[in-house]
């Protein structure tokens, strides 16, 4: 929602030329291109052919802007997943994978989808998860805990998997980062770290999406078993 009900000047005499939605959509494009560090209000104002002051009419600061941009990415992701009356667990899996894929396409967004949900699309996502969980037949007293656990897995694990590709810097790609980490694991004492030293190849060659869906399926299998009881 806009920050005010008044008419926002755009810096060039055109009232109502901007809206929060337009600003956030432009920010998503710039974040995809330049990353979070490269996004500035000056660059955004140039992109929208307006003045920086007009942006502050709709968005308080950069932190709010990036949070709203991440929430828009989230909304577009699950908004593309149709609501069905089919199997609820299948619906949860489809929803979760759609969100992961969207965050993987917009890696800057992953760490800004916070829990518990507060922004509009994060709230809608949690509500849809809860609605699907309720359809499994899970007892009502377990639905909140299970729904929030699934929500936290989707957003939190996505961030944990995707974020390293952002934080290590543009000069270090995913493959180089994993190779470097695998070499570090390989140098550990196998007597103290028997599992890690034996899985360096898996670390270097693993698929992020497969890693996400492996944990997701374990979680949903547990839901199916619990609901079945």
Domain boundaries, the chain: 1-60, 84-228
User: What residues in the chain have per-residue pLDDT under 50?
Assistant: 1-15
- CB-based contacts of 105, cutoff 8 Å, min separation 6: none
Predicted model pTM: 0.85
* Number of residues assigned to the chain: 229
Which numeric CATH code is attached to 84-228?
A: 1.10.357.10
pLDDT of residue 170: 53
Q: Assess contact for 34 and 66: CB atoms under 8 A.
A: no
pLDDT of residue 117: 85
Q: Assess contact for 116 and 99: CB atoms under 8 A.
A: no
pLDDT of residue 173: 78
Which numeric CATH code is attached to 1-60?
A: 1.10.10
pLDDT of residue 15: 42
Q: How far apart are CA 130 and CA 152, in angstroms?
A: 12
85-101 confidence digits (pLDDT tens)? 889 999 999 999 999 99
158-200 confidence digits (pLDDT tens)? 888 886 655 555 556 788 889 999 999 999 999 999 999 999 9
pLDDT of residue 167: 54
pLDDT of residue 164: 62
HEC secondary structure over the chain:
CCCCCCCCCCCCCCCCCCCHHHHHHHHHHHHHHHHHHHCCHHHHHHHCCCCHHHHHCCCCCHHHHHHHHHHHHHHHHHHCCCCCCCCHHHHHHHHHHHHHHHHHHCHHHHHHCCCCCCCHHHHHHHHHHHHHHHHCCCCHHHHHHHHHHHHHHHHHHHHHHHCHHHHCCCCCCHHHHHHHHHHHHHCCCCCCCHHHHCCHHHHHHCCHHHHHHHHHHHHHHHHHHHHHC
Q: Assess contact for 57 and 4: CB atoms under 8 A.
A: yes
């Amino acid at each position: 929602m806009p920050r005010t009900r008044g008419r926002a000047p755009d810096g060039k005499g055109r009232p109502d030329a901007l809206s929060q939605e337009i600003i956030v959509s432009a920010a998503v494009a710039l974040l995809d291109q330049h990353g979070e560090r490269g996004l500035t209000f000056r660059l955004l104002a140039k992109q929208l052919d307006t003045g920086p002051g007009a942006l502050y009419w709709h968005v308080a600061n950069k932190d709010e802007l990036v949070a709203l941009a991440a929430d828009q990415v989230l909304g577009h992701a699950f908004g593309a997943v149709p609501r069905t009356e089919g199997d609820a667990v299948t619906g949860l899996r489809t929803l979760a994978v759609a969100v992961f894929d969207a965050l993987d396409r917009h890696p800057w967004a992953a760490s800004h989808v916070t829990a518990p949900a507060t922004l509009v699309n994060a709230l809608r996502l949690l509500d849809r998860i809860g609605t699907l969980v309720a359809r499994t037949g899970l007892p009502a007293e377990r639905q909140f805990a299970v729904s929030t656990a699934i929500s936290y897995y989707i957003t939190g694990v996505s961030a944990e998997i995707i974020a390293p590709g952002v934080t290590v810097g543009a000069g270090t790609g995913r493959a180089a980062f994993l190779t470097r980490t695998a070499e570090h694991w390989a140098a550990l004492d196998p007597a103290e770290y028997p599992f890690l030293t034996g899985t360096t190849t898996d670390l270097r060659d693993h698929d992020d999406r497969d890693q996400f869906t492996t944990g997701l399926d374990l979680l949903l299998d547990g839901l199916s078993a619990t609901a079945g009881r």
